[in-house]
Amino acid sequence: MIINFPAIVSLTITIVAAALLISERLRPDLIALLVLIVLGLTRTVTPTETFAGFSGSAVMTILAISIISEGLHKTGVTHRLGRIMRRIGGQSEWKLILVTTLTSAALSLLMNNIAAVGVLLPAVMSLSRQTKIVPSRLLMPLAFGTLLGGMATLLTTSNIIVSGALKDAGFTPFGLLDFLPIGIPIIAIGTTYLALLGRRLLPTRRPASEIAAAQPGMGELAKIYEIEKSLCCVLVQPGSGMAGQSVRAGHWAEALGLTVVGLLHEGHLHMAPSRDEIIREGDTILAQGSPAHEALDYYGLRRIQQPSLPNRVTDESVVLAEVVLAPHTTLIGKCLKDIHFREKYGFNVLAIWRQGQPIQSGLAELSLAVGDALLVQGPAARLRLLRAERDYIVLEEDPDPVIEPGRLRLALGITLATLFVAALGWLPVAQVALVGAAAMLLLRCLSMDDAYRAIEWKAIFLIAGMWPLSTAIRSSGLAEQLMGGILTLWSGLPPLAMAAILLGIAILLTQLMGGQVASLVLAPLALAAAQTMGVEARSMGMAVALGCSLGFLTPFGHPVNVMVMSSGGYTFRDFLRVGGPLTAIIALVILVGLRVFWGL
């Protein structure tokens, strides 16, 4: 029976918090903050324990991994990974869910679950935008895939904790491959569920932030401004007067009425080439405008009627953006040539929208008017210059810009080194991840402003706020008292039935306090039950370890759920609806595996 005051408070707060989360009347991060405040005011936990979550390893790992992930995003690593996943999955939703789940499961076999989600989250968001599939259809399979993969390896935290408890108690600890016989079927069956049945239960929901920021994409902008109609390709022939000169020195706009938007040199296409780029014989110029044949002949150029160039003006690091003149701009009546727009910002103006129609010619000397919108093309990194100017308002940006394409290999090397050192266990994962994040910043894979924007503060407050509740449940003796009563009540059951009870309790406690804390509480009780019943200690330990990885039911079951919650627009009920059947299926697979491979 529960008699002490801290245990009563812990149980009451747990029940009330669960009811509020299910009702969805308050935001989850606000509920977590209220939990922290009540525990502190009632002195159920000490002041140090109240705020310990903000410096907890899970919070620090998420913070650091968020920065590393943004570095991968800014340098184009995740963009390429997203393209690979799309190439495999195509446009089929169930195939993309399958690819996402298997990819995340494979990564979690080799690295920390939080790190796996951190690496893949921006790639899956990019994949979502490329395929027009809402993020809520892919991000939960991403998080659940890492949990499934983590159950097949010793490297998962709860598995390591139980293995350590076995060793401390004098039993043989788990080996690296001991989890594979049960873990591989778990991955196969869990992935099949998510791709087929679970897909029907996934919500189709856009986060409010994404809806508020929705604007036409780059492809739609190009169609609205009718850019394709104004593009042409010209070949620089031998002896051309343009050969050997830079784009700036050639004065393409003045001499030919052309805006150079792309340059094909030796099979490599450069979008928005620098004005200092040298034009050579044999190059193909992708330009906007309608040059006269006489002018082309004069400069040794020839128009190509059926070019092999792609019919677009953007790539990974070159974007299209729509910019309008601010209400109080000082540029009215001035032309682009007068304000040196191209030289100052490094952007080509491809068209101006005025009175419901796009204007595509004579732009350099066209006087700007109130209400004008400019369609610009240029490097994604320089879009910040326009955003900082008071004369312009940037309406549209590419959500997947590659700001630092030249640092792709550097960012990838930092990430791989970080994951390798973390996997070796020389240092705590949080410390290694922070070192990797600092390296990303020092080597300019991203800026400090980018780092601050990348951190998901909602996840930070959610985990830090619920952290003291886990401490209270453990330190008040609530968990031990509940477990002691259960084990006493069902002490005469067969070993497999006792394993099922331990598995169920592990699942329940994981939703309340996370798998790491639940495994710390349950590991010694599982070993005691095994000794009492005369069965292999590792079999009962396996039930607890795997049960503590079944964090599918709530956002608090594992930090990876929190990481995808905001981007996917998920609610508490979404995890119950999709994770409930998955939990039941995987629990049954675990029990069958314990019977077949461990003889229970």
Q: What structural domains does the chain harbor?
A: 6-210+427-598 (no CATH), 218-304 (3.30.70.1450), 320-394 (3.30.70.1450)
| Residues forming a β-bridge with 548 | none
**pLDDT above 60: residue 2:** no
Residues 509 and 511: their CA atoms lie apart, in Å, by 5
Read off the pLDDT of each residue in 553-580 and give the average, rounded to a whole number: 87
109 or 193: which leads in pLDDT: 193
pLDDT at 111: 67
Among 76-85, 192-201, 477-486, 491-500, the range with the most confident prediction by mean pLDDT is: 192-201
Q: Which are the contacts of 279, defined by CB distance < 8 A and separation ≥ 6?
A: 236, 242, 243, 244, 245, 246, 247, 250, 263, 285
pLDDT at 351: 87
Q: Which are the contacts of 480, defined by CB distance < 8 A and separation ≥ 6?
A: 521, 525
**pLDDT above 80: residue 82:** no
Q: How many CA atoms does the CB half-sphere of 350 hold within 13 Å?
A: 32
Residues 475 and 90: their CA atoms lie apart, in Å, by 51
At 249-268, the pLDDT tens digits run: 888 888 888 888 888 888 78
pTM for this prediction: 0.64
At 172-231, the pLDDT tens digits run: 888 767 888 999 999 999 999 999 999 999 998 765 444 444 445 556 677 777 777 788
* pLDDT, the chain, mean: 82
State the amino acid at position 111 in one-letter form: M
pLDDT band at residue 145 under the 50/70/90 scheme? very high
